[in-house]
Structure 1
Amino acid sequence: MTDQAVQSGGSSEPVEASPRDVRKAVAGSAMGNCIEWYDFGVFGFMPAILGQVFFNASSTSEGALATFALLAVTFVIRPFGSVILGPLGDKLGRQRVLALTVILMSGSTFVIGLLPSWETIGPAAAVLVVLLRALQGFSAGGEYGGAATFIAEYAPDRKRGFLGSWLEFGTLVGFFMGAGFVTLFTILLGDENMREWGWRLPFLIAGPLGLVGLYLRNKLEDTPVFREIEKQKQVAKSPLKLLLTQHWKSILHLVGLVILLNVGDWMMFGYIETYLKDVLGLKGHTPLLIVMGVILAMLAVIVPIGALSDKIGRKPMLLGCCIGYLVLAIPAFTLMENSKTETGVDAVMLGGGLLLIGGCLVLFLAVVASTLPAMFPTQVRYGAFSIGYNFSTAAFAGTAPYIVGSLVDATGNTLWPAFYLMGAAAIALVPILVLPETRGLSMRGVASSTDPHGNGKTEAV
């Protein structure tokens, strides 16, 4: 690759990365996100077994509760990881920190597959798995913000929507793989063998996945945009201080936006399976297979939607998601609830409800990686994105399934998931409305989330 910036009279002439380097950047970024969500898929779809293995749970419900508490550890630790790893990525470079996060995430998941059980070493098993989950959460705090930043800073401005959508494509693939391997091994080995030793296999697969991710990321140079400020000696000496003192309003702006993303994500991938079991009475692997079917449908459309955002803009997608949840959440859950019949479930009504929920969510997912990095200057982009995103995730993502499930149990009203989505959409509406259109916006010279280049205009390179 040629030098990306040539100085002339204090200005710089940006040079775009080669198509080959852009493809490598997208693949390396998406792979790390795939590993992160692979881990969530594995944990999320065999909670009862893991609770019995590591916490000596006496029943499946007690085991599931213990595992969901373990998942919460990841969310609690993520903001701490973002505060350390995010600014580090702004100081040392994106590539170095992303190589570290993929090692920590895949390594911690792999080692869990090697741990002895409670039956072998007693409470020490619980301590070890909590420590490894904490490490995974710490690394995840620096993963998503860095991966999105990496793609956004490599992508040509007019193709950032298309290329950024591959990051969330990796998210969906990772979750699908995690859930899929759990289902596959359960079917092949049976419940008893899964409890005895088969549970280890999905975790061990994270090792080879991590090696692939590390290989892809080590083959990359840092982003052209970061190397420009490095060459011009404009890297912030204290990115954390700079982002907290000068860009805290943009961070709060991002938090308000991603409340909807986080609630929608975890409603779809963390609660719907429980809804299908508890409210509709579906048994066995059927709820999981239904969720996996929804993921496949989202995979089919997410990249085309990202490409469409390069033509019509990001805001129509964000507003479509927001207004969609405000208007369609109650009809969606009403359809699903009414799909229950005396002989089973009406597949058309159930599919229609899931289509409404997943369809709204994929509009946001397709543009998140192209929209949010454009809210911050290069000097603080990694850290500001990571901190805002992960504090919002810790507060609203992991708690959503628990809160919604508790409200349904306490009141008997099965529309609480719809009300919760509508509340998140109402909160996000204002941040979305004040967000400038970032289609074609240069990643260079961004000033703030509401006035990208400090002059009330969006500019394209």
Structure 2
Amino acid sequence: MSSSPTTQHTGEPEVPKKVLHRAIGASAIGNAVEWFDYGVYAYMTTHIAAALFPEGDNAVFFTLVGFAISFLIRPIGSMFWGPLGDKIGRKRVLAMTILLMAAATLCVGLIPSYETIGIAAPVILYLLRIVQGFSAGGEYGGAATFMAEYSPDRKRGFYGSFLEVGTLVGFTLGNGIALILVNVLSADDLQSWGWRIPFLIAAPLGLIGMYLRSRIEDTPVFRELEDRDETEDEVKGVYKELLTKYLRPILTLFGLVIALNVVNYTLLSYMPTYLQNNLDMEESDALLVPFFGQIAMAVSLPFFGMLSDRIGRKPMWLFSCAALLIACVPMYQLMSQSLGMAIVAFAVLGILYAPQLATISATFPAMFPTIVRFAGVAIGYNVATSLFGGTSGAINDRMINATGNDLFPAWYMVGACVIGLIAAFFLIETKGESLRGTEIPGTEEAHREQEALAKSEG
């Protein structure tokens, strides 16, 4: 068993910068691998539909259902990986989830076409999406918890933002590869084999992420609790009370995630399909729109993370939800004017959304004590994501066809941001708060416990 981490006079675990940077990098790269898969699937939707589904008007819809299926299974994955991560450690679980995700993504690229194996093609796709969803149920909550517990208390927003830089790097890498393939390959080559290339790339990316994660220790906060023998028996008791004792943070997290992920998947994942199918934009142009916007968002995230360390997480969420309420419909109207206006509109929405994205790792893990942190974040995050995030593409596509209203995605985001705005009012501010101990950070109980810990350590 590893030795207990040393602490500063503040009671904050002291981590050498080299170790901290390695931990941040390992978390971010692992997250990039996960979202590379989701990005590639979103950007290759029309080609997957043509290759793995029977011809017809519903092929794209059923492909988007495949996207949603992985999210519907994520709560089951979170219920498995979350408690396991609180018991055996964050590092071990994250090593398993990244390998599972990369292997399933690779296999998607190897599925024979519908012409070759018939209905077995979409069935295999759906099964692999279930495996990916099961893996993702532990990956994201675990990576956010890992990042938060390694970061210094006063810089958690800044360092935590790099997890989401990883998210956008994954999306942008998938976008960039798709853009290259669309412009380099003929339509026939892209359709027959070219769309598979991005999925095959996931295997080496997963191995790189696995290697980086294997070279770091578990988080100081978890090791401290482990050395106090509070990572097994107490986890069982507290986990049973997750929906009673920790009902407020669960519900608050649920509301925030609805806003976060409806915007995320409507804006980042569904956008190329929306631009092609509803605004008659060429595929290469439809891929350019999010490409530039995602780069702008990735650059801005560390600055928003740093700002949250100064003014707090709550103001960032309140501002972002309120700003999107105002901007969503006008920006979607602007998208229909031209390619240039679409790029500008996407970038505006992306920058307004970035304060939410930048502060996930600083906000969500700090809503729970160490003893149920992985489980609380994983379950709360993934249940909301499965219902309102991964289903966004299919819901938007179906509702646009049913209503004839091309602005439905904008109004869908508005509704989600109303829920997020309400949830943000109930958020406990945890700027600069320690994540040590068995009480909810930011509460008086947590302050008393941390003072007792500091006194006992001399």
TM > 0.5 fold call: yes
TM-score in terms of structure 2 length: 0.91
Deviation at 1:362, TM superposition (A): 0.8
Cα distance in 2 between the residues matched to 1:85 and 1:311: 33
Cα distance in 2 between the residues matched to 1:346 and 1:133: 32
CA deviations 1:177-229 (Å, max 9, x no partner) are 11221221232222211222222211110010001000011111110000000
Aligned residue number for residue 409 of structure 1 = 401
Deviation at 1:62, TM superposition (A): 3.8
Aligned residue number for residue 355 of structure 2 = 363
SS in 1 for 2:283: coil
User: What amino acid is aligned across from residue 365 of structure 1 in structure 2?
Assistant: L
Which residue of 135, 139, 150 corresponds with 1:143? 139
Aligned residue number for residue 342 of structure 1 = none
Aligned residue number for residue 250 of structure 1 = 249
1:77-92 aligned at under 5 Å gives the runs: 77-92=73-88
- Give the stretch that moved more between structures: 99-108 or 287-296: 287-296
SS in 2 for 1:292: helix
1:389 and 2:381 correspond: yes
Deviation at 1:32, TM superposition (A): 1.5
1:81 touches 1:137 (CA, 8 Å); kept in 2? Answer: yes
Aligned residue number for residue 452 of structure 1 = 443
Which residue of 55, 59, 70 corresponds with 1:58? 55
2:437 touches 2:449 (CA, 8 Å); kept in 1? Answer: no
1:126-165 aligned at under 5 Å gives the runs: 126-165=122-161
1:429 and 2:421 correspond: yes
Deviation at 1:95, TM superposition (A): 0.3
- Give the stretch that moved more between structures: 263-272 or 292-301: 263-272
Cα distance in 2 between the residues matched to 1:130 and 1:417: 25
2:68 touches 2:394 (CA, 8 Å); kept in 1? Answer: no
What CA RMSD, in Å, does the superposition of the two structures yield over aligned residues?
A: 2.5
Deviation at 1:459, TM superposition (A): 8.5
CA deviations 1:90-147 (Å, max 9, x no partner) are 0110000000000000111112223333333333333322222111110000010000
- Aligned-residue identity in percent: 44
Give the direction of change, closer, same or farther, for the CA distance of 1:114–1:329 in structure 2 (3 Å limit). closer
CA deviations 1:229-257 (Å, max 9, x no partner) are 00011114216324244223321221011
CA deviations 1:3-28 (Å, max 9, x no partner) are 44469xxx996531111111111111
1:437 touches 1:458 (CA, 8 Å); kept in 2? Answer: no
Give the direction of change, closer, same or farther, for the CA distance of 1:15–1:336 in structure 2 (3 Å limit). closer
Aligned residue number for residue 44 of structure 2 = 46
User: What amino acid is aligned across from residue 132 of structure 2 in structure 1?
Assistant: Q
Deviation at 1:85, TM superposition (A): 0.4
Cα distance in 1 between the residues matched to 2:428 and 2:448: 9
User: What amino acid is aligned across from residue 407 of structure 1 in structure 2?
Assistant: M
Aligned residue number for residue 178 of structure 1 = 174
Aligned residue number for residue 33 of structure 1 = 31
Aligned residue number for residue 103 of structure 2 = 107
1:176 touches 1:292 (CA, 8 Å); kept in 2? Answer: yes
Aligned residue number for residue 216 of structure 1 = 212
Cα distance in 1 between the residues matched to 2:179 and 2:211: 28
CA deviations 1:337-384 (Å, max 9, x no partner) are 4x2xxxxx272x434432331122111001111111000000000011
Aligned residue number for residue 410 of structure 2 = 418
Cα distance in 2 between the residues matched to 1:26 and 1:312: 23
Deviation at 1:398, TM superposition (A): 2.0
1:94 touches 1:222 (CA, 8 Å); kept in 2? Answer: yes
- Give the stretch that moved more between structures: 411-420 or 164-173: 411-420
TM-score in terms of structure 1 length: 0.90
User: What amino acid is aligned across from residue 214 of structure 1 in structure 2?
Assistant: M
Aligned residue number for residue 241 of structure 1 = 240
Question: Looking at both structures, which has the greater relative contact order when contacts are Cα pairs under 8 Å and sequence separation is at least 6?
Answer: 2
1:250 touches 1:448 (CA, 8 Å); kept in 2? Answer: no
Instruction: Please list every run of 5 or more consecutive structure 2 residues that lacks an aligned counterpart in the other structure.
Output: none
Which residue of 6, 16, 19 corresponds with 1:21? 19
Cα distance in 1 between the residues matched to 2:87 and 2:353: 34
- Give the stretch that moved more between structures: 178-187 or 271-280: 271-280
CA deviations 1:74-99 (Å, max 9, x no partner) are 01111100000011000110000000
Aligned residue number for residue 335 of structure 1 = 334
1:158 touches 1:310 (CA, 8 Å); kept in 2? Answer: yes
2:3 touches 2:227 (CA, 8 Å); kept in 1? Answer: no
Instruction: Please list every run of 5 or more consecutive structure 1 residues that lacks an aligned counterpart in the other structure.
Output: 340-344
Aligned residue number for residue 307 of structure 1 = 306
Give the direction of change, closer, same or farther, for the CA distance of 1:363–1:90 in structure 2 (3 Å limit). same
Cα distance in 2 between the residues matched to 1:115 and 1:248: 42
User: What amino acid is aligned across from residue 220 of structure 1 in structure 2?
Assistant: I
Cα distance in 2 between the residues matched to 1:432 and 1:81: 26
Cα distance in 2 between the residues matched to 1:456 and 1:229: 17
1:203 and 2:199 correspond: yes
Cα distance in 1 between the residues matched to 2:406 and 2:193: 37
2:39 touches 2:269 (CA, 8 Å); kept in 1? Answer: no
Give the direction of change, closer, same or farther, for the CA distance of 1:328–1:126 in structure 2 (3 Å limit). closer
CA deviations 1:125-178 (Å, max 9, x no partner) are 333222221111100000100000001000111111111000000101101111
Aligned residue number for residue 350 of structure 1 = 342
1:442 and 2:441 correspond: no
- Give the stretch that moved more between structures: 169-178 or 232-241: 232-241
Cα distance in 2 between the residues matched to 1:116 and 1:405: 26
Deviation at 1:68, TM superposition (A): 1.1
SS in 2 for 1:413: coil
Deviation at 1:456, TM superposition (A): 8.5
Give the direction of change, closer, same or farther, for the CA distance of 1:67–1:75 in structure 2 (3 Å limit). same
User: What amino acid is aligned across from residue 52 of structure 2 in structure 1?
Assistant: F
SS in 2 for 1:330: helix
Cα distance in 1 between the residues matched to 2:396 and 2:116: 36
User: What amino acid is aligned across from residue 384 of structure 1 in structure 2?
Assistant: G
Give the direction of change, closer, same or farther, for the CA distance of 1:268–1:446 in structure 2 (3 Å limit). farther
